[in-house]
Structure formats: structure tokens, C-alpha cells
Structure 1
């Protein structure tokens, strides 16, 4: 059998040369593998934390320096007849040298490399070096050779096959890395090894009555050989075994299995996620194991729609966009990813879109998606730029695409391959064509190379050339009535109520900013005093005019902030309201609109951004708002209608009550409507004028209830409302592993929020932004930290829009 020996010990890193930048002397510094230069320098105390204050700005020299990693390892000469050095991830342009002999060079962070080394290994000590060229130097050299290409940022990220957002983004730092970022080791083998195992899983066209369709598995296998003898392949899954023989010299075979009526894999909230162990054996020489799920997925484009259909059932996508969860991805653990997945599912999501400025993620990522039922939309890593199609890039793109399409084929959660993020739109609408002057821009990848690779290697899944995209290169890419759309007019130029002007088929990106939680901001900024304009806070805002847009976005919705505490609460609240407005609008259009993917779930560092979970892993108020907006059953006021959204498998029937009340809770008008909403549908209920026309807009609220679900519409924006000063009764009691905070309202209380992390960064709360009518009670459960109970129920920890100021 083949065997694998990791080479993760004893590494050092040395700064070899740089382009004139001042830098510390780094020679023979202990290095962690997997890892990167930044984390090694940080561990040694040679740089300050790049995430703190503006330290990032003093680290540009790292990306303009050549780095050499080196280790010495023992070899006893008893291995098999073949030995390969396997590099699962090198970042990025590197030369690999073993015992003084160069094995080869690499230029792609997104793929692995394998080098035969048996002839170079020595008994006893062996020296392995990986010499990284400066990323900036490599990218700028390719740019000079091929001609410049337009992009969203003045950085050369499209000229190196590397995580684009390493070069900075409107939510991310410019920290250009180098290093051995994924495992490296030596694999030894004899006779033959499994070079690639690519299971393609489908459902049979004909079923078995009520038992459901059979599952079909085609296991495509490629082997490397040290011998030309015939080889036997065996594949086993769900109690079914099949074999195939590779004749002498043959390298490829397909083993086909039929599994009678397997349990189907479903997205979360549509069914379970049963997974089956698949084992592939190559005689006695090698073995591969993985897990598969039986399901079908297709893209319904009828009538310009964009609908994911799983196992024959249309799925309304409630999703988040995903960016790399750390600027230094080698720091990510399965536990940290599991926490993010729990946050996504806890907010009601059923899909993550892996955005094209990041990575093909780790096996842990896709395994967790399989287990939790989160569908994955996978962008190929191209974002917001014109990309060259000449060599060496075309060959690298083909190699990385082939490797990753094959690698991820077994995962039932993977639902869609997408060619790029915003590049088709950029070429069509952002003025790129004039500056390109006929040079390549990436269209050959998105419309030819990538769809051919997907069709060849993974025909079980749909491919979409890019997003936004309307379905044809001749059409305006970002047409909301066709295919996928991105909506950035809101945030950039329009009030969030402008979402109501859109009637889209599928919204793949839209977002609104808010600052991180107080504890995350305070841990990353040492400003004294802390103000919205203080240097550290300003540095942790990467969007153009971001802070101005935050304040402008408050518009007529909220009072003008008076100090940092107001600014922090109001801008977080406004982010939550803006995204709630958009999500509810798009969900109310089901089934015409069949998807809404919020930008974004997570952050890669502590920053003011569009994320629901900040760079410290803490849930912002937006997260709690999305949990309500993504709820399976939803009531939402849309114009003159109250829309009843039922995203469950059961009908939703009952008496819908809609009532006009005064802010003091006095009933004015009440109407009842018998509703019977089919499963997976949205039904508008037209409201009569007597409900829609308040006698005193500043003093009234419209209340809709159905089966324990409620929606509120206040008669005017908050500054124009005649809110009384909030009167609250609060108690704080021990409750299991934390504290139970009970708040009873004696007046209307608008968007009550509890921020326990202001007292202790370890503290979290289970709910936020609760509006109470007079006489109602909210209960918050606070866990973690050592908390002052009196401070817990005072400003600025306990906030509401109409609070009584001290």
C-alpha cells in the first residue's frame, strides 16, 4: 500500500531579497508549516499584529520580498520503488529544490503539485527548500509582459493565480502572503497508485414506486503506474460492490454501481442529509475513501428564471456570500469553520456562495456543507477584473479547474459552478473595452474553457458563466428580470427602500454596511477616545466613502447619532433594517424570485463591513435580523399588501389578524382574513384602506399576526414618530450557564438591543432588536463573561430607539 509522510517539522524561513524596501533581518527563523510568512513573523515578534490599528500599512515589504523555506529530514531508504514530493498548496510562485536539485517551479496557489523524488533521496539527512519569488514582482512582471488589464483596485491580482483579496478589498486588508499554506509531504508507492478518484452521482430516470429512484454512481479512476501489469479496481458503497480491470498499461477506468432506492440527500429544511461511505481499492496497492450523497441538481431557466432544483423540487435560496474567513487561511481549523456553518444555519440559510475573489475551500468546508445541508455555490476564483488568457495563465487555469472540479465532485452539497464574480458585467458596463484595446479579458475562460471542463469532468451539476449574468453574452449582464443580479445601487447611492423598486429573478449579491461588535472593534483599535472618526476606526473601514455612506444611509430612518455609542447602535441597527427590507421584498416575490444571497456572512479580519458575523466571530445585530427575515414562515408588509410567505412543506392556514393600534396599545381598527397558503409559496393579502391610512401616522402602528408570527409597520420613520420615552422593568437572574434578563415594556419599545460584550468580550446574547408593544415582555439569555448586573440593563449596554436618556 502507498504511504504518506508529512514534512511539517523543522522548517525555517529566510528573507532572501527585496525591492529596496526597508525590512528587518530575517534569517533562519523558525517557521510553521502549513503557514505563511506573516504568521511566522508574528509568532517571532518581528511584526505587530496586522489586524491591530494601522499595522497593516507597515507590512507591504513582505509581499515584495523573496522568501526561502528550508527543512532537513531523515530518510532511511526503505520506501517503495516510487516516492513523490506532494505539495498540496504553495503560495505562490516558487522553486522547489531537494538536495541541491531543482524539482520544478510553481505559480498557482489554487492547485497542488507532485514531483518524483526517489532518485534524489539519500539515506540519512535530506535538505528541502522552497524558494518563493516576491508576489508583487511576479505579478508585475506578467503585467509588463502581457499588457495591463482593468480591475476594481490598483493592484495586480489578476496577474497571479492567487487569492485575489490578499491584495486588499473594500472589506479586507492588503496583506500579500507567501508560504507553504497547505500540507507538504512524501508519498511512497509501488506498482500503482490512485492518482484521481472522481465519483459522479446521479439518480436513475425510473424509480421503484414508493421506494424512490435508484442511485447511480460512476467512479472515474485515474492511476499512476510503476508497472504495466493488469490491475483490479473495486468500488463499494451502501452494500453494493463492483469491479473493473485495467488492462496492462491502461491508466483510466470507470466502475459503475447501482444502489437500490437510497435515502436522498436534501438541502436543510427540505429533508435529511444521509451520507454513504464510498471505498475504492486498487488491488492491494492503494485505497481511497470518501462520502457521497444521492441527489440530483439542475438549474431551471424557463422563462428567464434562475431556480435551483434539487431532487425535482425547486429550492428558494436563502443564502450568504462567503469570503475567506481569515486573511491567513492556514490558520483556519475545522472547529472554526463549524462555528461559521452553525452561524449560517442558525440564521436560517440553506446556501453559501464561495465568492470568486477567494479560494477553492478546504475539504473540511465541503464536508461540513454535506453534513449540515448547506448548498454550495462555487465561483471559480476570478473577481472584479479583466484576466489575461495567454500563457502561463491559460495552462494554470485549466490545471487548477481540472483538479478542483474532480476533487469536489463527490460532495452532494456542491450545487453550482460559476465562472466568475462581476467580470462579465465589468467588461460590458464598466468601460473596460476601451482600455483593453482588444486584449484578452477572461471571456475565453467563462464561455469556453471552464464550461468544457465542467461538462467533461462533472456533468452532474450546472455551470453558470458568471454573476451577475442574464443568460447570454448578448444581453445586459445585470438585468434583474433575467438570471442573476447584483444590487449595489442601495448602499452606494440609494436609500434601502429602493430595494422595493426591484423585481428580480435571483439576487446573488446585495448588502449594507455596519460596524463590528464593540468587543471586536475595541480589540482591534486602541484609539483613545474611540470615535467614529478616530484613526483606528477609520482604518478599519475599507469601502470608498464608507463612513459617509453609513451616516447618509441613516437618512430619515433614525435620529442623528450623538457620540460613539449612538453611532455604533444606529448604524448596526440600520444595517439590520436595510437587509431585512431587501430580503423580505425578494422573498415576497416567490416563485418569480427564487433566491436571495446576502453579502456577506463573514469577515477575514476586524472591520466595518457588510458581514453578519464580524472578524472576531461575533454575531452583529444583522445576524439576528436575518434569522427573522429567513424564518420559514414570514409575514411582511409590501406596499398595500401583507404577504404571507410559507417556505415549509406544509400548508399554512388560519385567521390573519391585522390591526391598527395607537402607540399606547389602544385598538383602532381590526380586520381578519382567512388565509390558506400552500407549501413553498407566497400569497399577498390586499389590505383595505381603513388599515392602510392611519389617522395619526406619528402615533400609530399596524400589527399583523398569524399563528404566532408577527409583523409591524409603524406609521412614520422613527424620528417622526411620537414615541414616549421608553419605560422598562428589568430583572437579571441566574439561569443555568448564564443570566436571564427579563424586560417588560410599560410603553412601546423600539428595537430593544442588549450588548453584553461591552462589559466582557466573552459575553454573548441569544437575541437582539426586539420591538415590544406596551405590556409585552422579552427574555434574553446571556452567556459567558463576568458581568455587572446593574450595568447590563443600563445604557449603553441596553439600548432602544426611544430610550429615555439619563
Structure 2
């Protein structure tokens, strides 16, 4: 049977020199595999944390140097016919030598490599060396080879197969890595091995059907394949290196997105047998479900609707970027935690963005267990990519490997060709700059759809995000396909999200700083201000701070202190995204998806994320939990009036009375109306016009609408905060310990409290709180659950800057 031996231990690394190399480095530095040179230098105490203050700048030399990794291991010849060195991931330009003999070179971070090594191995001690060339240095050579190609961000990522955001993005640092970023193994085998198993998993009526395409290396004649799933087993004698075996499961339980059903998983296993002897094995957890993309034409343009198990899905999504600049630090436990956070915010789909990586198995496994849908970009982002030289072959190899690697996962529901590259060709001046040179069209419109059709015909492919389905239609036309809405953040106020109804919005976002605990952990400026050096350095977006302040205009006063800046910009982010999503969801089924930019961060930074770079939840996370709820109620403009919109993303109808009250801020009900039976059918939205006498305020500065349906509530203000007579906030508070690390804070409002948020991380960096952005009328109360091991004090919890409301900002 094939034997696999880990070679992850005993490594060291050496800096081979380069521009700015730090003098005095030890000749040999202990190295961790999987790892990077940055994390090894950090572990050895040779560099400061790259995420803190301005350290990113002083550590730029690391990525501009060449590095050598080496280890020694014992080996004895056990008579196996084949012994292969297998590298699951090399970052990026590597030369591998074994006992002084070169056995291979690599130029692609996004694929694995296997090198036949038996002839180079020797009994006893063996010396393995992996030398990495600087990606910056190789990029300079590639730039002269390929001629200039437009790129929205610095660095040569579009000329090589390396994580694009490694060279910096408008939310990420330039920390150009190298190293053995995934495992190294020595594989020994004889006769034959399973080289590739490609399972097409579909539904055939009520049955689950698995078509297993199996490829075999070696001499398979006389061997047998045995495959099984859900109690069904089939065997097949084989004579060549390729075989097809089918498994039919009668009426399996279906795999569903988490908001619609369960996630039953079945073990699919394949064995290669020589008589009764198992020669090799392969297994994965799979789920049975169908998926298609509805892009049919209609009176409004053309649809973009994801359909799972013949059920149209409204996508409540978030874009996913690499969760750390140093990829090996993202453990399976961290993946599971982050995906649980996404699920907790009622997110049902994560889009793995094309400037990052094909994530490791742990990510997709966690998504499949959690019922989290995955949209997977191929790795192209915001740049023109040459179609000459070595790139096409590398791109085809990585695409083939990753399509086959990821297709067993039921969570994966869509392949997408690129991020914004078709849009760039249309609108960003590329056509003139390129002067007829290639830019990647052949990848998105020919190679990738062809590979998906050949290798994974069970899933839909879309050429890009944004894309309208045809090169004859503008790629960002909201009437077709998927749309990106970035003019709002970049140019105008968030109220302009309501200017259009995209069929599907796959990117839109609004910035805010990280949590206070994260900001102060990463930045040590004294004084700390929005423009102090460290804070400024952790703002990577062009004019980002200016846009943060401009975005407050017309909504909230300009902040006069660091505390107010931090709260106001976080509050504005939450409101902006909630406003946009509520607008889009209210137009279901014309709009069938909103994927916010972005769920997570790769380091501590001012960004569009809901979860910051140290894994803490920003107010946006709580806003997403509300606006992505499966039962969601909002008040929206319709015609010349207002309507209550009930959105139902459950499989049972949602029916009940709707009460709308016009209330003064002091709690006085000025008008009230009840509609006794509003019914939103399953997976639909229902609209209810609000009578004019209810919807028309006597005083726009001191009145608001409150709509309720069962346990859901919607608020509507007749003016923005700067034009409201919000009272000075007042409340009565009590604090009770309910467990060793659990507390209950009860807040009883004595005035209107708008968007009450309690920032417990200012008292305890690891503390968490159950709710934020809570609005209370006088006499109403809310119970917050706090998790903290500290001995919390009530006085600290009920004072700014911990206890905050929108009232504070207006009354400054």
C-alpha cells in the first residue's frame, strides 16, 4: 500500500541576500513547515511583528531577498518501486535539490508538485534543499518579457501565479512571502496508485448519483476498483490507467444551505485492490444536492439566481479574503471560527475572492458542515493577464488541479472566472494602454469554461464579477448578471444605493476602523488620532480617511475627537450596508443576492470588513445579522409614499398582523394602524402600503415610524440624525453576574436611545457582547449578555466611550 511520510520537521532557513538585507542574520534560522520566512524570523525574535505600527515598511527587505530552506532526513530502501517527493504548496519560485541533484523547479503557488526521487535517495541521511527566488526579482524579469499590462495595484502579481494581494491591496500590506506554505511528504508505492479521483455528484430524480472518474499511475492491469457511499458498493476490474464507476444511492437526504435545511454528509471512498490487498485509498465527505444558475431573460433584462435543489436562493453573502497575510497561521480551528461568525450573521454564502488563494481543504470542509455556500473565483483580480509565455500552461495546470480537488464539496456552488478584469477592459482605459496585447479574455471566455465543462459539469461557471453574460453588454449593467457598486463608497453618500436595483450585487462596501481593542493593540501612536502615523499607515485605501469623513456628510456630525471618529465611522459603516441590503432585499425577486465586501481582514486595518484582522466583530457584523435575517421587515419608499416590506427566506409562509405606529421620540404614539393579515409566501417578499396619515409626520425632527410583525421590528426616520432632535441619552442600568465569565447588563431607557452600542472591548480586549445597534424608547429595556473573565464594573459600562448612542454624536 502507498506509504506517506511527513517531512515537515527539522527544517532551517538561510537568507541568501538581496536589496536591503538586514546585516547580522544568523546563518541558520529554525523554520516551521508549513510556514513562511516572515513567521520564522518573528518566532526567532529577529524581526518585530509586521502588523504593528510602521513595521511593514521596515520589513520590506524580506520579500526582496532569496531564501534557502533545508532539512535532513533518514531513509532506508524498503524495495518500493516508486518514491516521490510531494509538495502540497510552494511559494513561489523554487528550485528543489536532493542530495545535491536538482529534481525540479516551480513557479506556481496555487498548485502542488510531485517529483520522482527514488534515484536521488540514498540509504542513511539525505539532504533536501528548497531555494526560493524573490518574487520581486522574478517580477522585474517578467515585466521586461511581457511588456506593460495594466494593474490596479503595485507589484507583478498579474505576471505570475502568486497570491495577488501579497503585494498589497487597498486593505492589505505588502508583505511578500516565500516558503513551504503547505506540507511536504515522501510517498512510497509500487505497482499502481490513485493519481486523480474526480467525482461528479448529482441528483437523478430522487436518487443521488456519483460518477467517479479515476486515473491510476503505474501498472493497473489486473487490479480492481471498489467504491462505496451510503451503503452502496460497486467494484470494477481495470486494465488501463482510467476508469469510470457509478454509484446510485436511493433517496439520500439532501444537503441544504443552513437557512433551509440540514447538511447530511456521506463518506465516499475509493479503494484500489490487488486481490484482497488494498493498494491505495481515497475518501471524502460529500453531500447530495443539485445546483444551477438561472440567467434567463425577462422583462427587466436577465436573471442571476442561484438555484439549489430546485429552490431559488436569495444570497445573503460576504466576500472572503485570505484570513492572514501568513497563510499557514490560518488553522482549521480558525476557519471554523470565522465561518461560524459568518453563519451567526445570517450569511449563507462566502465568495472566495480572486486576488487571494484557493483555500485549503479545511475551509471547504467547514463550509460544508456549516451549510455555507461557496462561490469560488479563479485567481485573477483587477489586472490584465498575459496569454503568452509560460502563464497559460501554469494557469491550466492549477485550474485543473483545483477544480478536481474542490468538486467533492457540496458547499461549492459556483465557479467564477475573475474579479473585475472584464470591467477593467471596458472602463479603466486598458484598451488604449494594451495596444492590442492580450489581457486574459481567452482565460475567462474559453479556457476556464471549457475546463469546468470537462471536469466539473455539475456546477455553473460565470466569466467574471461583474459580468452581464455577454461581451456585447456592459459588464456592470445592473439589469444583467452580477454587479459591483463602488461609485457609492468612492463618490457619493450611501443613500445612493437606492438609485438602482441590480439583479445581483456581488460587491459593495463601506469602510470603518477595526475595533478599539484591535486598533490599540496594533497601533501605539501617542496621541492616537485618525491621522497619526500608525493609524494612517493602517489605512490602505486611496483617500480612505477623506471618504470616511465625506460619507458622514448629511448623516452625522463631523467628529471632534478620536473616540467620536471611531464610533461615528463604525456606526456609519453599519448603517450604509444595512441600508443597501434592505433596499435590495425589498426588491426580491428582481434582485436575488447581495454579497457585501467584505467579511474578514488579513491584518489589523481600516477596511470594509465586518470582522476585523484579529477576529473581533465590528458593529457591521450585528447590522448584517439583522438585515440578513430570514424574516426581515423594513420600511421602504414606494412611489410617493412608504410601504412595509416583509421578506421571508424560510420554507413556510410568514403571516401575521403588521402594526405601524408614528411615535414621538418621547414615546408618545401620534398615530397607529394595524393590517391584520400580511402574508409573505415562502421564499418571497410581500409589500404593504402605509396609509398617508400614518406615514406623514407632524414634525420630522422628533417623530419616527415603528413597524412590527411578530418579533420583527423596523424603524423609519423622517430625517437624518443631524436634523433630528435626539435627546441627551439617559438610562437606568443594572449588572448581574450569571456565571464565571458571563454577565447580564440590563438597560432601561429613560429617553430615546438610538443605536445603543456597548463597546466592552474597551474594558477587556477579549470580551464579547450579544447585541449592538439597539434602539429603545423611554420605558423599554434590553438585556445584553457579556462574556468577560474580568470583574466588570457598572460605572465603567454605562459611561462613554463604552456606552455609546447616536444621540451622543448629535448632542456634541
TM range (shorter): over 0.9
User: What do the CA deviations read for 1:679-702 (whole angstroms, capped 9, x no partner)?
Assistant: 111112122221222110001011
Query: Aligned pair in 2 of structure 1 residues 803, 145: CA closer, same or farther (>3 Å)?
Result: closer
Instruction: Trace 1:226-241 onto structure 2 (pairs within 5 A).
Output: 227=219, 229-241=221-233
From 596, 600, 616, the equivalent of 2:598 is: 600
Partner Cα distance (1:244, 1:139) in 2:
49
Tell me what 1:218 maps to.
Answer: 211
Partner Cα distance (2:744, 2:186) in 1:
55
1:82 aligns with 2:86: no
Tell me what 2:578 maps to.
Answer: 580
Tell me what 2:250 maps to.
Answer: 260
The alpha carbon displacement at 1:474 in A equals 1.5
Tell me what 1:750 maps to.
Answer: 754
1:37 aligns with 2:37: yes
Tell me what 1:8 maps to.
Answer: 8
Partner Cα distance (2:509, 2:192) in 1:
51
Instruction: Trace 1:363-512 onto structure 2 (pairs within 5 A).
Output: 363-512=361-510
Q: Which segment is superposed worse, 555-564 or 774-783?
A: 555-564
For structure 2, which runs of at least 5 residues remain unmatched after alignment?
none
User: What do the CA deviations read for 1:468-501 (whole angstroms, capped 9, x no partner)?
Assistant: 0000012100001100000001110010000000
Partner of 1:570, secondary structure, is helix
Alpha-carbon contact 2:373-2:412 (below 8 Å) kept: yes
Instruction: Trace 1:550-565 onto structure 2 (pairs within 5 A).
Output: 550-565=548-563
Q: Which segment is superposed worse, 191-200 or 665-674?
A: 665-674
User: What do the CA deviations read for 1:765-787 (whole angstroms, capped 9, x no partner)?
Assistant: 11111010111101111112413
Query: Aligned pair in 2 of structure 1 residues 585, 482: CA closer, same or farther (>3 Å)?
Result: same
1:720 aligns with 2:743: no
User: What do the CA deviations read for 1:81-115 (whole angstroms, capped 9, x no partner)?
Assistant: 21000000000011100000000100000000000
Alpha-carbon contact 2:154-2:167 (below 8 Å) kept: no
User: What do the CA deviations read for 1:650-700 (whole angstroms, capped 9, x no partner)?
Assistant: 111111111111111111111222311111111121222212221100010
The alpha carbon displacement at 1:148 in A equals 1.2
Partner Cα distance (1:793, 1:726) in 2:
11
The alpha carbon displacement at 1:802 in A equals 1.4
Return the TM-score normalized by structure 1.
0.98
Alpha-carbon contact 1:759-1:788 (below 8 Å) kept: no
Query: Aligned pair in 2 of structure 1 residues 79, 568: CA closer, same or farther (>3 Å)?
Result: farther
1:789 aligns with 2:794: yes
User: What do the CA deviations read for 1:123-148 (whole angstroms, capped 9, x no partner)?
Assistant: 11000000111101112211211111
Tell me what 1:739 maps to.
Answer: 743
Partner of 2:518, secondary structure, is helix
Tell me what 1:317 maps to.
Answer: 315
Tell me what 1:684 maps to.
Answer: 687
The alpha carbon displacement at 1:560 in A equals 2.0
1:286 aligns with 2:280: yes
The alpha carbon displacement at 1:391 in A equals 2.1
Partner of 2:807, secondary structure, is coil
Partner of 1:102, secondary structure, is strand
Partner Cα distance (2:622, 2:396) in 1:
41
Tell me what 2:700 maps to.
Answer: 697
1:658 aligns with 2:650: no
From 277, 284, 296, the equivalent of 1:302 is: 296
Instruction: Trace 1:501-650 onto structure 2 (pairs within 5 A).
Output: 501-639=499-637, 640-650=642-652
Alpha-carbon contact 1:13-1:26 (below 8 Å) kept: no
Alpha-carbon contact 1:24-1:46 (below 8 Å) kept: no
Tell me what 1:773 maps to.
Answer: 777
Paired residues, number: 796
Alpha-carbon contact 1:750-1:802 (below 8 Å) kept: yes
Tell me what 1:763 maps to.
Answer: 767
Partner Cα distance (1:565, 1:423) in 2:
39
Partner Cα distance (1:277, 1:86) in 2:
25
For structure 1, which runs of at least 5 residues remain unmatched after alignment?
208-212
Partner Cα distance (2:20, 2:322) in 1:
31
Partner Cα distance (1:23, 1:323) in 2:
34
Partner Cα distance (2:774, 2:303) in 1:
36
Partner of 1:778, secondary structure, is strand
Tell me what 1:242 maps to.
Answer: 234
Partner Cα distance (1:784, 1:734) in 2:
10
Alpha-carbon contact 1:79-1:188 (below 8 Å) kept: no
The alpha carbon displacement at 1:228 in A equals 5.5
Partner of 1:802, secondary structure, is helix
Alpha-carbon contact 1:767-1:780 (below 8 Å) kept: yes
The alpha carbon displacement at 1:21 in A equals 5.2
Partner Cα distance (1:648, 1:185) in 2:
47
Tell me what 2:98 maps to.
Answer: 98
Partner Cα distance (1:3, 1:173) in 2:
41
Q: Which segment is superposed worse, 180-189 or 635-644?
A: 635-644
The alpha carbon displacement at 1:20 in A equals 5.7
Partner of 2:72, secondary structure, is strand
Partner Cα distance (2:522, 2:69) in 1:
30
Query: What is the alpha-carbon root mean square deviation over aligned residues?
Result: 1.2
Partner of 1:15, secondary structure, is strand
User: What do the CA deviations read for 1:178-209 (whole angstroms, capped 9, x no partner)?
Assistant: 000000110001110111111111111xx4xx
Alpha-carbon contact 1:4-1:185 (below 8 Å) kept: yes
Partner Cα distance (2:22, 2:52) in 1:
21
Alpha-carbon contact 2:760-2:797 (below 8 Å) kept: yes
Alpha-carbon contact 2:64-2:135 (below 8 Å) kept: yes
User: What do the CA deviations read for 1:507-537 (whole angstroms, capped 9, x no partner)?
Assistant: 0000000110000000000111111111111
From 639, 651, 670, the equivalent of 2:672 is: 670
Partner of 1:216, secondary structure, is strand
Tell me what 1:210 maps to.
Answer: none
Partner Cα distance (2:245, 2:19) in 1:
54
